[in-house]
Amino acid sequence: MRRSLAPSQVAKRKQGADSSEDEDWHPETVQKRRKGEAEIRENYISPFRKPLTQLTNRLVCLDGTKHEAFIRSILSKPFKIPIPNYSGSLGIRALGLKRAGVRKALHDPFEEGALVLYEPPALGAHDLIKAEKEKLPVHVVVDPVLGKVLRPHQREGVKFLWDCVTGRRIGDSFGCIMADEMGLGKTLQCIALMWTLLRQSPDAKPEIDKAIVVSPSSLVRNWSNEVGKWLGNRIQPLAIDGGSKEEIDRKLENFMAQHGLRVPSPILIISYETFRLHTNVLHKGKVGLVICDEGHRLKNSDNQTYLALNTMNAQRRVLISGTPIQNDLLEYFSLVHFVNAGILGTAQEFKKRFEVPILKGRDADASDEDRQCGEEKLKELIGIVNRCLIRRTSDILSKYLPVKIEQVVFCRLTPLQTELYKQFLKQAKPAEELQKGKISMSSLSSITTLKKLCNHPALVYDKCMEREEGFEGALELFPTGYSTKAVEPQLSGKMLVLDYILAMTRSTTSDKVVLVSNYTQTLDLFEKLCRSRRYLYVRLDGTMSIKKRAKIVERFNCLSNPEFIFMLSSKAGGCGLNLIGANRLVMFDPDWNPANDEQAMARVWRDGQKKTCYIYRLLSTGTIEEKILQRQAHKKALSSCVVDEEQDVERHFSLEELKELFTLTEDTASDTHNRFRCRRCVNGRQVRPPPEDSDCTSDLSQWHHCADKRGLKDAVLQSSWDAAVSFVFHQRSHEDQRGVV
């Protein structure tokens, strides 16, 4: 208890003339003087004390006893064992004085979110007194600049790398293989490792003074940019991408000659080719760490690059490889031997211990015993390799993304589309030829025609005008006075549904939409639709320069900009585009190759997306588009360019399959669902939900089946149902575990 609040003191105070004033007395002067030690004061303040009130023109009480009591109470603060080896930032340091005593970590290990790679063993008060303070180990904490941006799997990765290269995972081994899949940030994890090693160690000094990154020449610039991006001007990497032999030699000599605590340019980034050509210089000294990007180049331990790198004086080695190591034993050996020579023995030992028994066990006429022995050896080998290899697949990324709701939307053809479709099938050559058992080139162009008709009759209007094969007399089917100038969404089932989806999104949400189609003509229709509805849009054009592209993408992604729709041709190379400004994506026509649809979805459902994503895959019910979907489901992926370039028809379709393509299934809500012979649906209603663990990657039979709008999760699609929807499959990417979006 504070002395001034003790009954005796209070009583004394009451005798004073101005006691009411006195009650609120605060040692303001003292407090000011001791601002730097606010933290210490925190600890002694009585919980009964009244909250501080503002002191204005009051007299400052300079009662000596109270002041003394106050100081004493500070000084009598009970002794606490400090956090091992860490002193806060309150210490007063005089310039030019070398401080003896406890060393401290470079970064605060107790800060929120700190990534601690090494924690010194806790010492009791007694040990602490005995210990030689200047030799106590300190925390190793990843620079918060990087620690703050690392995601959970990357934190784990950096810790793994650090444990490996400091010999903490496998005694006397200082290497590892980083084999994360694309997109998980291998480069960033390696930069965090390098930066930590270059500045810290438990010994309170840098673990290494220099590091080399060896990469394919095309990635040298990229590495240099990445270092700049994450570390800013904290470090100047030396990136060598060109120059005369003498010039490069000179730069490398200078690099190798650097030693000590603060090397000015401690990171060298160099291509495999240049490394090999200048091996003699690089072999002159010692390097703390070498990182080999695209390290599967080193799978052959006989080649020159391998030898040049392997004979370098660099104990700590990290090999980066995005492609999984093939099940090739020699490749295993080469890569692991490079990073951790010895853990698999010499080449001869490896052969005897692993290769021979494993291959023997795989032999067709191996005995059961051999087979079992082979399997055990393989397990043992994998066990050893996994101690120095880390590989995560990009699946883990989805855990950090918001939920994606994927919906396959079956849209009824309009009467006009149905009539045109039926007439085409009756008249066109392929059908006739197929009946005769012939496959011809015209089959493929007919596929394209039908797909276009599914998109909108306007896309075949020209053919009707010219009375092309399959469209003779078709012109009469169009409404009188029809012109392709206006968009007329009511003539196409899918276009009607799209029109609803866009209108509902526009009026009930603040979301933006990406529209994808295989056909530029369809994108032209979208433009017309947008103009008539006054939606602002941008359209990506294959002829745009990269710079212009980047500009419109950036503009679109900014939520405060009014562009509502981004149009994309799946052929214009949407690959790599980041359109996270949108969280709804409509795929207007299905692609033969499911990978292309995946690519399209990845434009919005990717790193940085904050909202729930809705994907709409539109299909015309009962048509060729359903067959494409069914084929996708069978994973018989076709390269879409093969089909769309109208090549090689007989290689991809059997006669039976082609015949099927050229049929129209009428009177169905979903031909695809009919084919499942689904047991979860009774009388067109889903009575049993899909299994708990099913998600977007499950087979469509394991998705939600909706023959009416009641079962839908997406309010926008729900209110678009009546436009022309006949059936919907929907599924989610994962359970939303975060609770907040």
Residues lying near Zn ion in the complex (CB under 5 A) are found at: 678, 680-681, 705
Contacts for 721 with CB less than 8 Å, ≥ 6 apart: 708, 709, 712
Tokens 């002694």 belong to: 44
Burial class from Cβ neighbours inside 10 Å (0-12, 13-18, 19+) for residue 63 reads: middle
C-alpha separations of 717 from 488, 586, 686, 722 in Å = 21, 11, 18, 10
User: What's the DSSP call for residue 98?
Assistant: P
Strands (DSSP E) found in 300-388: 313-320
C-alpha separations of 226 from 46, 191, 231, 547, 612 in Å = 52, 8, 8, 20, 30
Tell me how far apart the alpha carbons of residues 197 and 201 are, in angstroms, rounded to a whole number. 7
Burial class from Cβ neighbours inside 10 Å (0-12, 13-18, 19+) for residue 575 reads: exposed
Q: What own/partner pairs with CB < 8 Å and gap ≥ 24 does 108-115 have?
A: 108/141, 109/139, 109/141, 110/83, 110/86, 111/144, 113/144, 113/147, 113/148, 114/141, 114/142, 114/144, 114/147, 115/141, 115/142, 115/147, 115/150, 115/155, 115/158, 115/159
Contacts for 189 with CB less than 8 Å, ≥ 6 apart: 150, 154, 157, 158, 161, 178, 180
Given the DSSP bridges, would you call strands 725-732 and 704-706 parallel, antiparallel or unpaired?
A: antiparallel
Which helix (H) or strand (E) element contains residue 30? Answer: helix 28-33
State the CB neighbour count (10 A cutoff) for residue 624: 25
Tell me the residue number closest to Zn ion, measured at CB: 678
User: Which residue, among 286, 275, 280, 647, has the nearest Cα to 444 in the 3D structure?
Assistant: 647
User: What's the DSSP call for residue 313?
Assistant: E
Cβ atoms 605, 472 nearer than 8 A: no
Strands (DSSP E) found in 88-139: 116-118
Strand partners, 404: 613
Strand partners, 682: 685
Tell me how far apart the alpha carbons of residues 357 and 667 are, in angstroms, rounded to a whole number. 62
Question: Which residue lies nearer to Zn ion by CB, 463 or 732?
Answer: 732
Q: φ and ψ at 524, to 5 degrees?
A: -60, -40
Cβ atoms 116, 141 nearer than 8 A: yes
C-alpha separations of 74 from 41, 43, 187, 370 in Å = 7, 9, 50, 77
Question: Which residue lies nearer to Zn ion by CB, 412 or 705?
Answer: 705
Question: Which residue lies nearer to Zn ion by CB, 371 or 713?
Answer: 713
**Half-sphere exposure of 217 toward its Cβ, with a 13 Å CA cutoff?**
7
